[in-house]
Amino acid sequence: MKTLIIILMSSVLVNNYVLSRFLGICPFLGVSKKLDQATGMGISVTAVMLLATAFTWPIQYFVLDKLGLGYLQTIIFILVIAALVQMLELFLKKVSPSLHKGLGVYLPLITTNCAVLGVAINNITDGYNFIEAMVSSLGCGLGFLLAMVLFSGMRSRIDESKVPAPFKGIAITLIAASFISLAFMGFSGIVDNLFA
């Protein structure tokens, strides 16, 4: 139980995928303009991460490792993720059109979100068991959501302020992101000490 809490907390706060590992930067910069967009993207990413891990972990251990096909990891994982995203979209469209309306628009973007593939691969390289891998995926998704929501608040302030011409757009956004990342650095070490 303790390890699970440590994995969860460290993937949410310390090793935040966006702010310290630079995974999923594109949607972080692209879809964080408004709070509702940021939340929608964050929830979608979390769901896909969990789903992706639930499929890729068994595939790695029961198919690829058994057959000695470890070198197919990247190809299989990205195909599985792409297929999952497609299916999730169709499923949502059928079952809950309202949810699809809210989240569906973000789903096609997630296929090429490196955070999802990153989670799937990292769970294998870190040697997590299935439960730990699921917890780690949940943590990474929540960390992504947290970063998105926090950053959307910052973005709305930036949009209202006067920015020097060269910094308009991406430049000032990146510098703002750098400050959030700086704040998250304060978490490093906290998890180990909290639960040690």
Q: Which DSSP string corresponds to the chain?
A: -HHHHHHHHIIIIIT-TTTTT--SHHHHHHS-SSHHHHHHHHHHHHHHHHHHHHHHHHIIIIIIHHHT-GGGHHHHHHHHHHHHHHHHHHHHHHH-HHHHHHHGGGHHHHTT-HHHHHHHHHHHHTT--HHHHHHHHHHHHHHHHHHHHHHHHHHHHHHHS---GGGTTHHHHHHHHHHHHHHHHTTTTHHHHHH-
Least distance to other proteins, CB of residue 40, Å: 10
- Could you tell me the smallest distance in angstroms from the CB atom of residue 123 to other proteins? 11
Shortest Å, Cβ 167 to other proteins: 5
User: Which CB sits closer to other proteins, 28 or 142?
Assistant: 28
Nearest approach, Cβ of residue 148 and other proteins (Å):
12
Nearer to other proteins by Cβ, of 146 and 172: the residue is: 172
Residues that bind other proteins (CB under 8 A): 19-27, 29-31, 33-34, 71-75, 78-79, 82, 104-106, 108-109, 111-114, 117-118, 121-122, 125, 165-175, 177-179, 181-182, 184-185
Considering the complex, state which of residue 25 and residue 59 has its C-beta at the smaller distance from other proteins: 25
Nearer to other proteins, 47 or 147 (CB): 147
